Amino acid sequence: IFSGMNEAIIVTLADGSIRRINRATTELLGYTEDELIGLPVDQIVDTSKSATLIDDSVSGVPREAFFESKFGESIPVSYTCSIVEDEGQESTVRVYAAQNITERRRAEQRIRYLARIDALTKVPNRMQFQHLLQRCIARARRSAKPLCLFYIDIDAFKEINDTCGHATGDAVLHLVASALRRQLRSYDVVARYGGEEFALVLPDTSQEAAHEVMRRLLAAPFVTEFVSDGAEQQVGAVAAGHAGE
């Protein structure tokens, strides 16, 4: 039963040295059983990211740590620690049961990413834009420097969806977002505000500079030909306005 468990099981003595492990542990860490027996349990802990396990308090509540494999890979795990009486040795041992949570961590990161970034255009969504805008306003007030705010709308976008299909509409949104990012500075904010609307925040930008940015955006080569569903399509220009502070 011990060897066949899916969780990585690590049994340690009172001094923290490893006494037994199961097959899941060898598969997780890449070590053989002989290589780990007798070593301190912290030998498998990525101590740059996790605290020691030797003095870990006993708890049935799962905790998280990072193990380090034989090959130097840092592996996030969820584990529990229990004390078991060893009748044969008349002592107690600690039993760690750990699960690899790499995929869960990736899923959580993906969820956090999608909560802030528009999945289609790969620019901040409306919620993240509002957060970034507040930060930019606060920074502008502290530094007494102006900022520029643009709202941009794609003309006749409903007609594009109705006549060419939503796949073409999605392609248009992606192309416009990419074109906007190319035209602006790395620290400017480009966000999808909703539907076919985009919002831009340009820190340290005066009204005169804002007018110049607007002229540049309107004159930019937004017209792009591409093929959608076997037919050649063309992305037209966008119309922009601005507000300065």
Predicted local distance difference test score (pLDDT) of residue 224: 55
36-41 contacts, C-beta under 8 A, 24 or more apart: 40/16, 41/10, 41/12, 41/16, 41/17, 41/96
Q: Give me the torsion for CA of 103, 105, 108, 112, rounded to 10°.
A: -130
Closest among 149, 157, 216, 236 to 188, alpha carbons compared: 149
CA distance 159 to 229: 17
CA distance 97 to 25: 9
Question: E strands along 87-188, which residues?
Answer: 91-100, 147-153
120 and 170 Cβ atoms separated by less than 8 Å: yes
3 and 20 Cβ atoms separated by less than 8 Å: no
With bands split at pLDDT 50, 70 and 90, how would you rate the model's confidence at 240?
Answer: very low
Helix (H) or strand (E) holding 174: helix 166-183
- Residue 126 pLDDT > 60, yes or no? yes
CA distance 76 to 78: 7
Predicted model pTM: 0.62
Determine the average pLDDT of the residues in 165-189: 89
54 and 40 Cβ atoms separated by less than 8 Å: yes
- Residue 244 pLDDT > 60, yes or no? no
Predicted local distance difference test score (pLDDT) of residue 227: 54
CA distance 11 to 17: 8
With bands split at pLDDT 50, 70 and 90, how would you rate the model's confidence at 241?
Answer: very low
- Residue 201 pLDDT > 80, yes or no? yes
CB atoms within 10 A of CB 109: 10
Mean of the per-residue pLDDT values of the chain: 85
**Each residue of 36-82: pLDDT tens digit?**
999 999 999 998 998 888 766 666 778 899 999 999 999 999 999 88
Determine the average pLDDT of the residues in 227-241: 53
Q: Give me the torsion for CA of 47, 50, 53, 58, rounded to 10°.
A: 170
Closest among 66, 126, 60 to 101, alpha carbons compared: 66
145 and 138 Cβ atoms separated by less than 8 Å: no
Predicted local distance difference test score (pLDDT) of residue 233: 57
- Residue 87 pLDDT > 80, yes or no? no
CA distance 125 to 152: 14
With bands split at pLDDT 50, 70 and 90, how would you rate the model's confidence at 230?
Answer: low
